A and B are shown apart, each in its own frame.
Chain A
Amino acid sequence: MVNTKLVAAVVIVIIAVAAVVAVWQFMPASDETIKIGLVAPLSIPVGQDMDRAAKMAAEEINADGGIYVESLGKRLKIEIVVADTETANPEVAPAEVTRVVDQGVDVLIGGFGSSATLAGQVYAIEQKVPYVITGASTHLVTRRGFLPDGHSLKIDDPEGMSYMFHYCTTVYHYSETVAHFFAEAMKPLLESEYGLTRNLRLAVLYRNDAYGQGVWDATKQFIEDDNLPIDIVAEVNYETTKTTFQTELTTVKNAEPDAVYVVDFTTNTAVIYTQGQTDVGLNSIYIAVECCEEPEFYTALGQYGDGQLLESKFASYADVDGEFYLPMMDTYVADYKAKYGQVPGMMGADTYDAFYIVKDAIERAGTLEKSAVRDAIESCDMDQMLIITQTGKIEFGTDEDNYHEIDPFTFVEQLYYDESIGECRPKVIWPATAPVVGDIKQADLVFPDNYEPGSP
């Protein structure tokens, strides 16, 4: 009979599916490791840098025996579970964070891209999983609880939000450094070299996304609030799909700026520096922010970086014969190079530190219980690691205007072309000293050889 066969087949299929699912569900979960979820965009170089730095931190900690958990009376090794957000895609992030949280991670680390992080963190907030965010430029990732009612990003769950920590600079940190650098270092030099006493003429070129808009807003705000002698003479934003910029640079050139502030990631920033000088004749001084502190930026820039600027918080290229401004960098960069054959980027450094912050927190908490780990991260008081902070300590703020954020210190580098390697190398030029660390300055600001100031 046809029908009995059909029914039998259906029953068999259902049983098979159920069996597979059951086996999958009841696979013995191992309690023998501490699971740390790494949220990173593995399809782009930044994410791969985060992944490498995470592995390095975990291997170091594991080689040392792991993390001591008092309640279990033993040391547990770290197991990394990756939530791959591909190209920091906000549509993929929720599913991936859900996946690793459901696998039972004890803590989350990472997150790159503001929109992808804001979209992905929702499940972590719901499930109250401590999350040390190391790559989002918006300060909102920890402050969504404080937003006014009806704000489109508000999450009215103070307890869930209290599990979010931000170990990273935000658009406010770097915009403040850049704006003050122009006012305090470059303006005097324009005056002494070219006799220009007027305000500094600044052009801003930024990508049309959360990061670009955020930097643009914050820069305007600092210039206004701190009364800086800077006029913004051109503001150009462009689609994130753009790969060539002659038209945008022509607009900037026609505004005759003294300096050009470029807000993009590595590839486009290098293209803008290059096309500005070769195609449009915009022989100015360019500055970009720390997201460009990655090896591929130096490769792509070649000779066209000579004399140009970069704001940074982790200068992995600015060593003098292997010695950095920070002793810990000496070992980190050397170990990373030995392990992976390349210089580490900036995003990985935050991630690396975050593993140690988590280790410290779990050991102080004495348990893997999430609320206790959260409390311990909140009361973190470690010495600074790869990222310099204003107090020399890693401390997360608890007030509304710095909630669960650190207070990082950032600086400006100038690049010098090195013909023997065909790439530029940076030197720290401003400010002269960093809190606790002391002297960091390696050279004075000079104008590039082809520099032409803006209109008189």
Chain B
Amino acid sequence: MIDATILLWGVAIGSIYVLLATGLNLIFGVMKLVNFAHGELLMLGAYVSYSITTGLGLDVYLSIFVSMGVIALVGLGVERLAFRRVLGADKLNEIFVSLGLILIFDNVAVLIWGEDSKLLTSPFKGMGLHFGDVFLRYDLLIAFAVVVAILVGLLFLINKTKVGMAMRATSQKSQASMLMGINIEHIYIFTFMLGAVLAGAAGTLFGIIFPFNPYIGALPTIKTFAIIILGGLGSIKGAIVGGLLFGIAENLASATLGSIWGDAVAFALLIAVLILRPKGLFGEKGD
């Protein structure tokens, strides 16, 4: 049965995918780096907010900023210590490093926070608007607003600022941009941290809406890769459309065909799109 509640929750998980996908798309677009550990940053973001809110009593929505900051630093560390050193080798080495990082992050999170699932406590717990049978939590509304604000800011950064232009130049031809005097190293660090910031924000929003545990990061990452391929590499528009489409498709499939079909149908959609359009919905260039 198709009903508004199911669409609503499809959009909710979809907007989390959108944040992850734009970040990952930037990293892939600019650095050509395949980071399968991106979802772990989301997981850590949720836990950072958890510690901040339970430990210091900070409001969960303010903790987004802390989480973005901390995850940016984690991103810096990951880029400098691990990915930097395998960049340019085989893509498979990058995946291998990601798998190692997943082991590290998952288990460090278990050691610090335990394995039980947690939920961030929102000040608007249990509150929301009723539209007939549909209950719209305030948390969802706020999450949508935050996602939109972040995306607007991001588009501004990429299209209107100097660093954004440098990123675009790097993503198109790193050799040429080096000649133009752009410090590629710095652009790489900036891009990776920017992606991490988005994942951190996604983590906090995820943790307010969905319960999380240390192993929550793996599946979203793979779906996110599917989404950026579905949307088209390097296309922010593609990441947004792809993310929402993926979220809605898996929820609709769960509701109509049965829950076990959710993931399968979402990936079938990806395969169908790729067969028809090998470069994705909005992809112009391949790598």
A contacts B directly (C-beta below 8 A)? yes
Q: How far is B259's CA from A246's CA once the two chains are assembled, in angstroms?
A: 11
With an 8 A cutoff between CB atoms, is A431 at the interface? no
Q: Which of A255-278 contact B (CB under 8 A)?
A: 267, 270-271, 274-275, 278
Query: Once the chains bind, are B211 and A244 in contact (CB under 8 Å)?
Result: yes
CB distance from B135 to the nearest CB of A (A): 5
Q: Which residues of B contact A342 (CB under 8 A)?
A: none
Q: How far is B116's CA from A271's CA once the two chains are assembled, in angstroms?
A: 11
Q: Which residues of A contact B263 (CB under 8 A)?
A: 239, 241
With an 8 A cutoff between CB atoms, is B156 at the interface? no
Query: Once the chains bind, are A267 and B116 in contact (CB under 8 Å)?
Result: yes
Interface residues as binary, A356-378 with B (CB distance below 8 Å gives 1, 0 otherwise): 00000000000000000000000
The segment from B1-9, B31-39, B179-187 found at the interface with A is: B1-9
Query: Once the chains bind, are A236 and B258 in contact (CB under 8 Å)?
Result: yes
With an 8 A cutoff between CB atoms, is B126 at the interface? yes
With an 8 A cutoff between CB atoms, is B154 at the interface? no
With an 8 A cutoff between CB atoms, is A379 at the interface? no
Q: Which residue of A lies closest to B13 (CB)?
A: A244
Q: How far is B257's CA from A236's CA once the two chains are assembled, in angstroms?
A: 10
Query: Once the chains bind, are A247 and B260 in contact (CB under 8 Å)?
Result: no
Categorize the interface residue count of chain A.
20 to 34
With an 8 A cutoff between CB atoms, is B85 at the interface? no
Q: How far is B213's CA from A433's CA once the two chains are assembled, in angstroms?
A: 40
With an 8 A cutoff between CB atoms, is B115 at the interface? yes
Q: Which residues of B contact A248 (CB under 8 A)?
A: 254, 259
Checking A238, A246, A250, A281 against B260 with a beta-carbon cut-off of 8 angstroms, the contacting residue is A238
CB distance from B42 to the nearest CB of A (A): 13
CB distance from A422 to the nearest CB of B (A): 12
A267-B213, A279-B135, A279-B137 known; A300 vs B9 contact (CB < 8 Å): no
A254-B3, A267-B117 known; A242 vs B259 contact (CB < 8 Å): yes
Checking B3, B5, B117, B135 against A271 with a beta-carbon cut-off of 8 angstroms, the contacting residue is B117
A208-B260, A300-B116 known; A246 vs B9 contact (CB < 8 Å): yes
By the criterion of a CB under 8 Å from any partner CB, how many residues of chain B are at the interface?
30
Q: Which of A246, A247, A251, A274 has the most CB of B within 10 A?
A: A247
Interface residues as binary, B122-162 with A (CB distance below 8 Å gives 1, 0 otherwise): 00011000000001010000000000000000000000000
With an 8 A cutoff between CB atoms, is A30 at the interface? no
Q: Which residues of B contact A267 (CB under 8 A)?
A: 116-117, 211, 213
Query: Once the chains bind, are A236 and B259 in contact (CB under 8 Å)?
Result: yes
With an 8 A cutoff between CB atoms, is A299 at the interface? yes
Query: Once the chains bind, are A251 and B1 in contact (CB under 8 Å)?
Result: yes
Q: How far is B133's CA from A315's CA once the two chains are assembled, in angstroms?
A: 38
A239-B260, A243-B117, A247-B255 known; A271 vs B6 contact (CB < 8 Å): no
A254-B1, A296-B116, A299-B116 known; A281 vs B259 contact (CB < 8 Å): no
Query: Once the chains bind, are B259 and A250 in contact (CB under 8 Å)?
Result: no
Q: Which residues of A contact B1 (CB under 8 A)?
A: 251, 254
Query: Once the chains bind, are B251 and A278 in contact (CB under 8 Å)?
Result: no
A208-B260, A250-B3, A279-B135 known; A243 vs B216 contact (CB < 8 Å): yes
Main secondary structure of the interface of A (DSSP, over half): helix
Q: Which residues of A contact B262 (CB under 8 A)?
A: 238-239, 247
Q: How far is B108's CA from A285's CA once the two chains are assembled, in angstroms?
A: 37
CB distance from A131 to the nearest CB of B (A): 28
CB distance from B185 to the nearest CB of A (A): 38
Q: How far is B119's CA from A270's CA once the two chains are assembled, in angstroms?
A: 12
Query: Once the chains bind, are B5 and A280 in contact (CB under 8 Å)?
Result: yes
Q: Which residues of B contact A296 (CB under 8 A)?
A: 116
With an 8 A cutoff between CB atoms, is A45 at the interface? yes
Q: Which of A215-244 contact B (CB under 8 A)?
A: 236-239, 241-244
Query: Once the chains bind, are A246 and B5 in contact (CB under 8 Å)?
Result: yes
Query: Once the chains bind, are B6 and A300 in contact (CB under 8 Å)?
Result: no
Q: Which residue of A lies closest to B135 (CB)?
A: A281
CB distance from B226 to the nearest CB of A (A): 15
Q: How far is B260's CA from A251's CA once the two chains are assembled, in angstroms?
A: 13
Q: How far is B117's CA from A271's CA once the two chains are assembled, in angstroms?
A: 9
Q: How far is B6's CA from A117's CA once the two chains are assembled, in angstroms?
A: 38
With an 8 A cutoff between CB atoms, is B219 at the interface? yes
Q: Which of A197-223 contact B (CB under 8 A)?
A: 208
Supplied contacts A246-B6, A271-B117, 16 more A-B pairs, CB within 8 Å:
A237-B258, A237-B260, A238-B259, A239-B260, A239-B262, A243-B210, A243-B212, A243-B213, A246-B12, A246-B251, A247-B6, A251-B255, A254-B3, A270-B117, A279-B135, A280-B135
Closest 10 CB pairs of A and B: A238-B259, A246-B9, A247-B254, A244-B210, A250-B5, A247-B251, A267-B117, A281-B135, A271-B211, A248-B259
Q: List 7 A-B contacts (CB under 8 A).
A: A44-B115, A236-B258, A244-B13, A250-B6, A275-B211, A278-B126, A299-B116
Binding site for A on B (CB under 8 A): 1, 3, 5-6, 9-10, 12-13, 115-117, 119, 125-126, 135, 137, 210-213, 216, 219, 251, 254-255, 258-260, 262-263
Binding site for B on A (CB under 8 A): 44-45, 208, 236-239, 241-244, 246-248, 250-251, 254, 267, 270-271, 274-275, 278-281, 296, 299-300
